Amino acid sequence: MKYAVIAAGEGSRLVEEGIIEPKPLVKINGETMIDRLLRIFLENRAESISIVVNNEMTVVQKYVQGLKLAVPVNIVVKSTASSMHSFYELTPYLKGGKFVLTTVDTMFREEEFAEYVLEFDKSTDIDALMAVTDYIDDEKPLYVETDDNLDITGFKDIVYSGARYISGGIYGLSDNALDILKNSMMEGVSRMRNYQRCLVENGLKLKAYPFSKIIDVDHAGDIEKAAIFVKR
């Protein structure tokens, strides 16, 4: 499986709250967030790992450029307008089969991630497997609309009657999704949530995969919350 990490955010809210380390290098239970993801990817049959970081985070650039892993590591240094644009910069390394994309601050249980990757790897009749959760602790959650079979029918910015799941920020995607990404960029679409809407609008088959809980580390208080949640 190919893996990709968006580590290009500025982490401005963490800085405002007194966290001086760049977000990818913030430690959760003694392990940086970027190292945690890389370790988990390697434990789940990674064939390559691609990482995008921004121009301003020179400390993060040096850190990832010094990585020595058992698989190829592709690094893109570029500041972009949104996470969708960062994703686009990684596309040369993701073509030809399935891949899993996430952001550096997405915290999940390792065993659930392993089961998710296995499910996506063996799937033959879907274009994407999207992590979702009914744990809602996000300032601006993206609600995921599904049918009874967990086929995704839409994405909503505002809570609706019967809403259960929100996006977990882990995306299992295929080549078809890269074609839609290219078209979305040409059409001026921005933000991952709008890109996901484009996937549905273009008729791709998206399946939801429920995780019990996923935490994004956006605030200083989220660091301790995440540490307790993922402690092994």
Domain ranges of the chain: 2-230
Beta bridge partners of 73: 49
For the segment 169-214, what is each residue's pLDDT rounded down to a tens digit? 999 999 999 999 999 999 999 899 999 999 999 999 999 999 999 9
30 backbone dihedrals φ, ψ, rounded to 5° = 80, 5
Q: What is the pTM of this model?
A: 0.96
Whether domain 2-230 has CATH 3.90.550.10? yes
How does pLDDT run across 41-53, given as a tens digit for each residue? 999 999 999 999 9
* Half-sphere exposure for 82 (CA within 13 Å, toward CB): 10
pLDDT of residue 232: 72
Residue 9 pLDDT more than 80? Answer: no
First to last CA, the chain: 24
